[in-house]
Structures are given as C-alpha cells and as structure tokens.
Structure 1
Amino acid sequence: MDCDSSDRASLLKIKEQLGNPDELSSWLPATNCCSWDSGIICSDTGHTIQLEAMAGMYGPIPSSFAKLCHLQFLFISGTSISGSIPDFLVKTNLSALSITNSKLNGSIPESLSLLPNLRVLDLSGNMLTGSIPPGLFRGGPV
C-alpha cells in the first residue's frame, strides 16, 4: 500500500528541517514513503507508525513531527539533534519515544505526560537538566 499523502509531505518536511542528510536520500517526493529504506514502518492504512533515524542529522526536533498523528514509535540515536524537547510531540500517538546520545538540552516537558499511550521514554546521553516530571510516573511494572 502507498503511504498516506499527508504523512509523505510531513516526512519530506522533516527531512528538509533536518538539513537533508545523506541518510535520508531515499526520501523522494514521487515514491512510496512506506518503502523508503530508512526505518519507516507504516500501518495497513499507509500511515507512518514508526520512524528510526540515526547519524547525520542536526538542528532542533522538526515541528513536522506534530503532523504524524499516527506515529507510535520514534527512535533517534547518535545524532546532532539539539535544542529542547518540544511540546508539539503530544500531537502524536507515541507509545515509545527514544532520543538518545544526541544534543538535547533543557528540561523534560511536563506535556509528555499527556501522551496516554507512552510506555517507553529513553532520553539518555543528552544534556538535559532538571527532574523528571511526576506526571510521567504512572506506576505499574518497571
């Protein structure tokens, strides 16, 4: 199945906002984003539900992630992604957020506790400060 056209547009905007890294060279407008060779997994309906990104990326977390409302899993590791963790991530459907070994700074926003399905949060290897917002502790097995 071809990917959702609005997801493709959002992903292409993310690529642009990340500085068009070579690692995302397969992300081309006239192709099926579900078949791009860069860690994208789509649902049966063509919506992007998982994105894995590594090295070669820099700058803040792109605002276009907010338009991927079906996104469940976001894994970014070993990049030069910098800046703070944006509040707009609550517009996704994340159940796992892992941005590790990058250059994020600032504090972990309380808004992440508004993600009802968030079960995995790994922000290790960044330059974050402050405490973990209490709303992220939901109890249950560790």
Structure 2
Amino acid sequence: MMPCMILYICSPRHTTEMINNKMISSSSSTILTTHLLLILTTHLFTTSHSEKCNPDDKNALLQFKKQLGNPNQLSSWNPTTDCCNGTWQGVSCDTDTQTYRVNDLDLFSIDLPQPYPIPPSITNLPFLFYFSLSNIPNLVGTIPEFISNLTNLRYLYITQTNISGEIPTTLSQIKTLVTVDFSYNKLTGPLPATLSSLPNLVGITFDGNQLTGPIPEKIYFLLRH
C-alpha cells in the first residue's frame, strides 16, 4: 500500500494572520531595540556631562601627582572620578560661582617616594587662589619662578620642606598675594625688596630659614603687626 501524504492547506485568512503576527513581532523587536539604545545613549551622555571638574584642571592635577612620584596619599586622585566631588585629597573647587574650577590645593604630610621639586604642572591651574605644601620632607629644589604665573594666587604656603635657595623676586608679579608663609625650609639669601610692592600683602612668615641681609621696611612693618 502506498503511504499517504497529508497536505495542510491554510486558508487565506490564516495566512494573513500569520504574516501580520510576524510583522507585529518584528516591529515590537525593533521598538524594543531602539528603546534600549536610547536608554544607553542617555546614560552615557548623562555620565559624561555630570562631572563638574574641568578636564584641563583634572589633567593638571594628575600630571602634578605623576611629577611627585604618585605618592600613596594621593591615591584618591582617580582619573575615573570627579575631582570636584570632595574625595580628592586636598583639592577644592569653586562652588560659589559654580564654575567648578580648582581654586584650592592644600597638601599636608605627603610621603614622596624620593626627592622631587615643585612640579611645573601647577601652573596649569590658573584659577588657584590657595596653594599650600606643608610637612613634605622630600620636597626639594628651589621656589620656582614659574609660580609667578599663578596670577590669581592669594595665599601661598610652602613650609616644613627641604626647599632651598633664594626667594625669587618674581613673586612680586603676583599682585593678588595676601599671605606668604615660607617658614621652616632651607632658604638662604636676602628677602626680596620687591615683595614690598605687593599691594594686598598683609602677612609674611619666614621663620626657620637662613635668610640674610636687611628686612624691607614694609615687610618689617608687617612682621611687627
């Protein structure tokens, strides 16, 4: 006996429903894919634009850290995080005007892996108004003249380091300076008379050094008061 073959013939209506169902399924899949891509794009956009830290400031800080030998105390300076979120040790940003430029760098008791000078990358923080390096024994070299490029600087503290040499006369170019503290380093030579020309200077300290020569009149007045 010959085997029988059963042939199912779909009605036109059934065929149309199958095609429509496939079209609906394909359309739903496309909508879902588009929706997921939109969510992902929005997330990436939000993440990239939620960081307040200026990228130039962040790069300058990371370069500064590298030029100091990447000390352990600055491990919080993580390139994947926002330098203005309050977790970067010693770093503060301008939240008053909401420009979020780095304006305060206060580093204390940093254990450098070997002797390093003050990094030149500090000049890439143009909005810095407070700069302090304190109790850092392996900080060596001289007070660099390039610090005078920080034209918004108001408070300058370099204390308890092994910085040596003379105080640069170019500091008088920072007309915004209010307070200068160079105490307990290894500075030598005279106190620059040009510091007397600083119009906003109200305080200067240089105890614990080996400075020589006369004290400029205005500086003498500040020391007495």
Q: Same fold (TM over 0.5)?
A: yes
TM-score (norm 1): 0.74
SS in 2 for 1:113: helix
1:18-37 correspondence runs (5 A): 20=69, 22=71, 25=74, 32=83, 36-37=88-89
Amino acid at match of 1:22: P
Q: What are structure 1's unaligned runs of at least 5 residues?
A: none
> CA offsets per residue over residues 41-71 of structure 1, 9 Å max, x none?
5544521111110212110002221111101
CA-CA distance at 1:109 after TM superposition: 0.5
SS of the residue 1:74 aligns to: strand
Amino acid at match of 2:209: N
- Greater share of helix: 2
The equivalent of 1:95 in structure 2 is 178
Match for residue 53 of structure 2? 2
**How far is 1:132 from its partner?**
0.6
CA distance in structure 1 between the aligned counterparts of 2:185 and 2:147, rounded to whole angstroms: 17
Of residues 150, 156, 181, the one that matches 1:68 is 150
Q: Are residues 23 and 124 of structure 1, via their aligned partners in 2, closer, same or farther at CA, if it must alter by over 3 Å?
A: farther
8 Å CA contact 1:3–1:34 kept in 2: the answer is: no
The verdict on how the C-alpha distance between 1:11 and 1:67 changes in structure 2, with shifts beyond 3 A counting, is farther
1:83 aligns to what? 165
SS in 2 for 1:51: strand
Q: Mark the CA change 1:138 to 1:128 in structure 2 (over 3 Å): closer, same or farther.
A: closer
Task: State the structure with bigger RCO (CA 8 A, min sep 6), 1 or 2.
Answer: 1
Match of 2:202 in 1: 119
How many correspondences in the alignment? Answer: 138
Bigger Rg, structure 1 or 2? 2
Q: Which letter maps to 1:116?
A: P
For 1:86 and 1:27, how far apart are their aligned partners in 2? 32
The AA in structure 2 aligned to 1:89 is: L
The structure richer in strand per residue is 1
Residue 67 and residue 136 in structure 1: after superposition, are their counterparts in 2 closer, same or farther (change >3 A)? same
* In 2: Cα distance, 1:10 partner to 1:34 partner: 14
Task: Give the aligned residue type for 2:195.
Answer: L
Cα shift at 1:22: 3.4
Structure 2 unmatched runs, 5+: 1-51, 102-126
RMSD of aligned Cα (Å): 3.5
